[in-house]
Structure 1
């Protein structure tokens, strides 16, 4: 079996069996291609079925000289997944990455904004411009519903169930979930829909997309990042922020106010509770409050 054939089969598996998004899928394939490039540099003509742990250890060692420990760990994880797939499909009997350890990483705590900082950023939006109402509605939705930026730009009018106070969100791997949406958030979306969006020349195929650019098409991820960065500069915020910061802040503020971690997990669309548990490290006073409230010997 040649590398390109193995990569093509693996891509098919990731897309159809695991339902990964295009971005995640490309990251997995990029990890494997790094290994292929390394083998080509060494003029090593070893197939994915025959490659052994020794050459992989050498690759990981060389990798550590040029990338950060976090990037190294991600690539090791990607290769581990690739060889697990080959073993599962019985192309080979073992996973040669199985005993190769990733570098130890400290758990990176997410950046968060206070409620006051979020209010300041939203108030800094220039509502005299047509895109102002749109930008306010978008940031309110990022924070109010804890969405990923990819989920925000894919949000459709047909996903809005305001009578039930929910929106339908399409997350990673096209998995759908219903997320509560508050009345304030609904108000700003409706202001944008009925005062701005109705006057736009909407391009064919984008009629159901909620948030549109000036040309009547869906917004790009890069555009949302730019809007957030510019507001940070405008308000003099001394934090590195991105659209994801609003999602982290949503989860952190819910937790700090006593929300159940399982409920937060469902709203964020995390497959595993361990992903959500990172927010427990943001404010440990929450643990003290839970102990005081619920333990019988408080």
Structure 2
């Protein structure tokens, strides 16, 4: 390994202290996949009703973040138990293997987060519909099964699809439904690009880990298709997401202000370019960060486009 890369890896794997241990455990760069869909779904509801229930919005936002954080903790716990994480592993919280926190503490904390999210879910259901409870419990189960259970979803080719569906369209439509009591064609169509981009975050993670996943016998999409094909899927997914917005403006009469999302294209380009020619996981971390940032900026800009159209 080149000295410069080795130095960067050593810095990246530096031991955390104090609150940083718990902050890194939640893998903060992934949390955008939980709060961006809530914001977008709520903005769409405001467009329909010209008002929102602030309590429902905050409850949904906090519950989504807690479920995402708990899912990350389940991942930390079960990857450690299966021997997938070591002190040299890149892209993990490292709370167990580097910071010495007991695995049972991680599991207890994740269950606490799930409990709080369920209580928030009761409040949401009481003020909207109890059908939300069914969808919410399924979402929590999928979050657990993503890395838990006899055949973790994360070890199959379906990780990208499941993360996109349950963290994208699922959250957007729940956020929209609890405010409006209905689901519209527009809310479904608008949720598609964000769903794709959340799946791409997962894909970028699997592209980075393709070498290690092969060694452990995991059958992720990049392992089955190869790194180069997976990268082409990643680039194609970005293109489809942006073209989808153009289609919504042309064919669904949505405001042209939504085209503001194209301001996020430099991040998408940086994400794809950042993987090209890279072989070490630590070298690909900037590309992964750019992938998550693309989803964040895209979602915020899409919401801003709608908000500006309300005002004017």
Instruction: Please give the TM-score of this superposition, normalised by the length of structure 2.
Output: 0.23
Structure that is richer in strand per residue: 1
* Structure number, greater radius of gyration: 1
Higher RCO by CA contacts (8 Å cutoff, separation 6 or greater): 2
Structure that is richer in helix per residue: 2
Instruction: Please give the TM-score of this superposition, normalised by the length of structure 1.
Output: 0.24
